[in-house]
Amino acid sequence: MPENTDGGRSPVAARRHQEHFFAETDETGLGAVDAVDDSGAPSSMWSEAWRKLRRRPIFWVSAAIIVVVCVVALFPQLFTSIDPRRDCDLGNSYGPPAPGHPFGFDQQGCDIFSRTIYGARASVTVGVLATAIVIVVGATIGAVAGYFGGWIDSVLSRLTDIFFAIPIVLAAIVIMQVFTDRDAVMVAVVLASFGWTNIARITRGSVMSVKNNDFVTAARSLGMGRGSILVRHVLPNAAAPIIVYATVALGIFIVAEATLSFLSLGLPENIVSWGGDISAGQRAVRTNAEIIFYPAGALALTVLGFIMMGDAVRDALDPKQRER
């Protein structure tokens, strides 16, 4: 028999007397490991979008451009004390930059810097008014067509297709020739009359993708009316693509207004606008190209700011477009 070296005890008895160490079960409870902090309010789509926007330099650059343009449009007297329509002297025609006149003078002897500053007001006013009208008209038509469907959708969709086939600038050129007394409101209304089709299509598609969600079904089962469901539940959750397009559309309408003013079919000459100054400066484009450069540069920078803002908002609100 083999010799027992453990004081005569069998291996089984020896294992019984071995010391065993166990982790204390109350040191890290399973509940603490799997616990979820639900004390704070749940984050919404808008808070998540804002969190992503804050991390993007393109958002801050575009926001800075838009803020500067809006301040210039609202308070032009903070940047210049010269009246661009009255403080003109033909003796300064095509004059070079001078103290207090950093951009020089145009053909009429008017200060180009002050005209560039005051031109922001007309362009931004037309862009904001046209965008507001387009959102109200286009979003209403698209939401009603997408939510109710049936013959309502068919009629409104065919109406949208008819207006969509008409080029917005060409239609505005034809209509603006009828009116002689034009102002910013009239230009905005004409542009919006043919520019609502894109946002109507976008709203229709967004509403159709939202109206079959569970929260809409739950609201319907609770007895809410279809109109209330559309306004209180469907539209708020379908607003993301509408906001994105509205940001970009504002820049588009500013360009459309400048195009009409360039053709002398937009704002009248007594209203300072970038398009009108570009049109007036084309006569001396070979000898004094800087006359066109300043209003055209201000126009391009403004439109760039709104387009960049639209791209940033789109990437923040649309997960499919977000960079990986």
Per the domain annotation, does 247 fall within a domain?
A: yes
> What's the domain range around 275?
46-89+98-321
The pLDDT value recorded for residue 36 is 52
Does residue 19 lie within any of the structural domains? no
- Residue-wise pLDDT for 186-209, tens only, equals 899 999 999 899 999 999 988 888
* Residue 29 placed within a domain: no
Threshold 0.85, pTM exceeds: no
Give me the number of domains the chain comprises. Answer: 1
- Asked whether residue 169 is assigned to any structural domain, the reply reads yes
Residue 41 in any domain: the answer is no
Share of the chain above pLDDT 90, in %: 17
Instruction: Tell me the per-residue pLDDT of 108-160, one tens digit each, with 9 for 90 and over.
Output: 888 888 899 998 988 899 999 999 999 999 999 999 998 888 899 899 999 99
Within 8 A by CB and 6+ apart from 117, the residues are 72, 76, 79, 80, 84
Rounded to the nearest 5°, which phi and psi values hold at 164?
-65, -30
Angle between helices 197-210 and 184-195 (to 10 degrees): 50
Residue 289 forms part of a structural domain: yes
Helix, strand or coil, per DSSP, at residue 118:
helix
The CATH number of residue 175's host domain is 1.10.3720.10
Residue 8 in any domain: the answer is no
What pLDDT shows up at residue 9?
55
- Is 24 inside any structural domain? no
